Structure 1
Amino acid sequence: MAITWKVDPMHSEIQFKVKHLMITTVTGYFSSFDIEAETEDDSFTSARRVVFTADVNSISTNNEQRDTHLKSPDFFDAANHGQIRFEGNRYEKVSGNEYKLHGDLTIRGTTKPVTVNVDFGGIVVDPYGQTKAGFTVTGKINRKEFGLSWNAVTEAGSVVVSDEIRLNCEVQLVKQA
């Protein structure tokens, strides 16, 4: 019988990092997201489905003007593609508590296979009797592969935004009764 796990949004965060002018890194996050997983047992080695969605309109880089630009057709085109979706379909043990999650990522209507690194933090029962599992998820994607191709060049010839986006997520899942 399948066990369903749902995200604990109060103890989870979805971040991304991108180089700006190739000299500093800008951090952004999504404040509205959902994660659901199905396993056969509590070990997560039996994970057979992981679905992550993020509301593009919840993007924040702590700069309203930049966030508006990211939601525009130059980047995510939130009016036509309001959701980012990842469907994990294979959870592979690498060693110890390290895993790889393989799946399909859809951004702006383009779906590509993506593999992310997962550090499984373990499972505990919290003071309220809820069984929780913790994960750190990291990875990299090329934004241009998903149609996020806007860029500009400085007078010195440097690009404004790097193609590589680094993902860094802290996720806590709650076992459903």
Structure 2
Amino acid sequence: MNRRQMIALSLPLIAAPSLVLAQAQQSQQQADPYQPTEVPIREGFEVGSIVVVSDEFFLYHVIAPGRAIRYGVAVGTAELVWKGKARIGRKVEWPSWTPTQAMIKRSPEQYAQYANGMPGGPENPLGARALYLYDANGNDTAIRIHGTTQPGSIGRAVSNGCIRMRNPAVMSLFEQVPIGTPVYVY
């Protein structure tokens, strides 16, 4: 066997692991469409910005012109979906949480016990990280992009208006975006 034949025979063996990996990733994406995935996005959004498409349950972090990392999210129920443009005004690891007065009024049996707040930690509904959204005038919108203690809620409209992500996903996003990052919620 000459060198050329040896190389020709070994190429499929070299390519096989990457082919298997690509097939495994594709299979995993089909099983869980909400896992972080690099995808094309329409151009026009500034690199670094965050785009949320609420009715599709996806958050896009624009990483290059026409490219984004897509994350699955949970959003507010129909009457509580927040839409608009904001900026990240604050970032907090293991945030504390206090339900709003409107939340307490809507569901006192669920939220009244936390009227004085809940410290950050693994049981806190805001999860591991929170990105606080502020409007153009610098006012807190009371909307957060945050982790969740209920990862099974991703892909559904279940929250009180905030945008939930799985904890590993929000931790990754938290590290990538600075304060001042523009956020568009549709």
TM above 0.5 = no
Structure 1 or 2: larger strand share?
1
TM-score by length of 1: 0.22
Q: Report the structure number with the largest CA radius of gyration.
A: 2
